[in-house]
Amino acid sequence: MEGAVKTGVFLLMLWTGRAGAESPVVPSLAASVPAVVSPTEAVFRISAPEREQWVWNLGRPGVREFGWVVEVSTPAGVRWLGVQIWHEEGGVPTKGPLSALVATAEVGVWPATDSRGPPLAGMPVAAEVQGSEIVLRVTDPAALESLFASRPATVRFVSHRGHGPQPDQSFTRSRSRTIHLVYRH
């Protein structure tokens, strides 16, 4: 039993980057961590529901139809980084895979109190789809400093859905979960 505890502690230290610089990181374990911040990048993996086809540009223009964001508390206030899909004026109902939906998204960082406005300047975020996950990356040094210099222990993943399956149906639903950040050196 004692050996199992030592092995578990070592794996936890390895996973959190505390086992020493010379310790190898198991790639499959690193890929499964949903929120990792290092000196050169922050990577977030947000699960999306598995669907063959997504439908967007339904309902009323100006409504946020989908969003996958990471809520971060910073000294400047709470920020959302991620993707938001708004029904644009004149938008035609569209079907496609998650990658096509995310390709239409507004990607960036917003004050949580004003997510309808344009993203903050100088805070680039990249978004891509890997399987049924939306992977968000922040690599800009100034953005990393602004968002993570205070080393928050947790972030919240927030998913939004804001329309029904038919154009005349409307609802808004948000779901969130708290995620512990893993800091790598």
Pair 75, 21 in one domain: no
Pair 85, 176 in one domain: yes
Average pLDDT of the chain, as a whole number:
82
Pair 102, 173 in one domain: yes
Pair 59, 90 in one domain: yes
For residue 4, name the pLDDT band (cuts at 50, 70, 90).
Answer: very low
Q: What is the DSSP letter of 41?
A: -
Pair 48, 129 in one domain: yes
State residue 58's pLDDT score: 81
Pair 67, 23 in one domain: no
Pair 19, 103 in one domain: no
| Phi, psi at 73, each rounded to 5° | -85, 120
Pairing type for strands 54-56 and 42-47 reads: unpaired
Pair 23, 68 in one domain: no
Cα angle 174-178-183, degrees, rounded to a multiple of 5: 135
Pair 79, 164 in one domain: yes
Pair 112, 164 in one domain: yes
Per the listing, tokens 């100006």 go with: 62
Report pLDDT digits (tens) over 38-84.
999 999 999 998 888 998 988 778 888 999 999 999 999 999 999 99
User: CB 56: neighbour CB atoms within 10 A?
Assistant: 22
Report pLDDT digits (tens) over 68-80.
999 999 999 999 9
pTM of the predicted model as reported, rounded to 2 decimal places:
0.79
> Residues 161-167: what's their mean pLDDT?
63
The C-alpha atoms of residue 102 and residue 106 are separated, in whole angstroms, by: 8
**What is the count of structural domains for the chain?**
2
- Domain of residue 24: give its range: 1-29
For residue 9, name the pLDDT band (cuts at 50, 70, 90).
Answer: very low
CATH (domain of 171): 2.60.40
For residue 173, name the pLDDT band (cuts at 50, 70, 90).
Answer: confident
Residue 25 has pLDDT above 80, yes or no: no
Pair 21, 74 in one domain: no
User: CB 72: neighbour CB atoms within 10 A?
Assistant: 26
Report pLDDT digits (tens) over 95-123.
999 999 999 999 999 999 888 888 999 99
Residue 168 has pLDDT above 70, yes or no: no
Pair 127, 98 in one domain: yes
pLDDT above 90: percentage of residues in the chain: 57
